[in-house]
Amino acid sequence: MHHHHGRLRTFGLLAFLFALVLLVGAIISAATQTPEMIFVFGFIGVISVAISYWNSDKIALRAMKAYPVSREQAPQLYAMVEELAHRAGQPVPRIYISPTPTPNAFATGRNPNNGVVCFTEGILHLLSERELRAVTGHELMHIYNRDILISSVAAAVAGFLTTIAQFFFLFGGRGGRQQNPLMLVGALVAVILMPLAAGLIRSAISRTREYDADADGAELSGDPLALASALEKLHHGVSRRPLPEDPKHDAHAHMMIANPFGPRAKQMFSTHPPMEDRIARLEALAGRR
């Protein structure tokens, strides 16, 4: 598969997220004169990442009310997934279907041996077999590139930074006349900048992984134009039938191949690149083949 510069960028962004955690932890330790606080926050952060990573598949599948399908129930879908998995020389993931009319698909699972690809009923009705095969290639590459681990870490750390901001908001303003100036500065920076920085970095990581999965998926299926066509259909299909905005959907929206909330989604924190840009890249890739 491709060796992407985007992968280096992803790890650079993750490192920056962790650096923010350590920075704020250091400020808290200095302001409260309790050095052990940085270890407490670090421990909580690691636990948050572990829980998010281990349960990512269960949470997403439950939120989408997805159910597993057998080879007898979906022989063509199984044949498609198995063919591409064998072509990649990787384990065959389990297949789930979500009974929602919003056309979309996502991959989850903590590693390639526990991978899951979930299709909505909407995408199965919308796309041709060729387009669905290209989408499957995209989702398989999310699994084989271990993007679920990366996205779980990014989401957990971003959530942890937001929690730190709330800590500052609750405790940074206390102390009256004897209040530590460093705590005031930390509170101001954390409350205003931490959630913003965490959201932007998480979005940047997710967008990078989408570009990489497009390129790797197109290579795996050998049909970048089919993926471009599928993305265009999904863009219009989701616009017509977006997923209802709900906190339980927000947590896994970044996993889906198309932004499930359509044009209503906030662009600054969008976890998906512009669809026109993705399509243009795939068309350029087809021109180089």
Catalytic choice (139, 210, 245, 283):
139
- Give the whole-angstrom CA distance, residue 141 versus residue 235: 21
Tell me what pLDDT residue 176 has. Answer: 47
* Per-residue pLDDT tens over the stretch 190-236: 666 666 766 777 777 788 889 999 999 999 999 999 999 999 999 99
* Per-residue pLDDT tens over the stretch 86-135: 999 999 999 999 999 999 999 998 789 999 999 999 999 999 999 999 99
Left if phi > 0, otherwise alpha if psi is -120 to 50, otherwise beta: which for 33?
A: left
Residue 234: Cβ-neighbour burial (10 angstroms; 0-12, 13-18, 19+): buried
Residue type, 257: I
Which residues fall within 8 angstroms of residue 81, CB to CB, at 6 or more apart? 92, 93, 95, 117, 136, 140
Sign of the Cα pseudo-torsion (128, 146, 17, 21, in order)? positive
Would residue 36 show up in a list of annotated catalytic residues for this protein? no
- Give the whole-angstrom CA distance, residue 54 versus residue 149: 9
Task: Judge contact between 141 and 1, C-beta under 8 A.
Answer: yes
* Per-residue pLDDT tens over the stretch 144-158: 998 877 777 777 777
